[in-house]
């Protein structure tokens, strides 16, 4: 289902970013060729893990969509949109 996958992808990206930061420390945040691991790709991942939360709605919006689809918080259950 779309909202579940979207939420999982956004949250796992943040968890990975946090784990990388804990392992590499400040080296994870630089793209200086003399200090950066993996030629700066780690730093790019750190930036993208934060930015990737918003497209398609924030994680909170994804949780609201999931709750509405299973009927939590409303008197009537909301149906998923039709595919084109």
Is residue 47 situated within a structural domain? yes
* Nearest by Cα to 21 from 2, 53, 49, 58: 49
2-26 mean pLDDT = 87
Q: In Å, how far from its chain's centre is CA 73? A: 24
Residue 75: pLDDT above 80?
no
Structure tokens at 18: 């946090």
pLDDT digits 0-9 by tens, 26-73: 888 888 878 877 878 888 888 888 777 777 677 888 888 888 888 787
In a domain, 11, yes or no: yes
End-to-end C-alpha distance for the chain, whole angstroms: 16
The contacts of residue 36 (CB under 8 Å, 6+ apart) are 27, 30, 42, 43
In a domain, 81, yes or no: no
Q: Does the residue 78 lie in any domain?
A: no
Q: Considering the domain boundaries, does residue 25 fall inside one?
A: yes
Return the pLDDT at 19. Answer: 93
Tally of domains in the chain: 1
Q: Is there a domain that residue 56 lies in?
A: yes
Give the domain extent around 24: 2-70
The answer to whether residue 10 sits within a structural domain is: yes
φ and ψ at 71, to 5 degrees? Answer: 90, 20
pTM over 0.75: no
């Amino acid at each position: 289902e779309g909202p579940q996958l979207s939420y999982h992808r956004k949250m796992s990206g943040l968890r990975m970013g946090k784990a990388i930061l804990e392992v590499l420390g400040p080296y994870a945040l630089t793209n200086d060729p003399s200090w950066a691991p993996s030629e700066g790709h780690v730093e790019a991942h750190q930036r993208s893990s934060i930015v990737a939360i918003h497209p398609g709605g924030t994680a909170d919006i994804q949780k609201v969509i999931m709750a509405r689809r299973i009927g939590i918080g409303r008197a009537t259950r909301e149906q998923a949109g039709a595919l084109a």
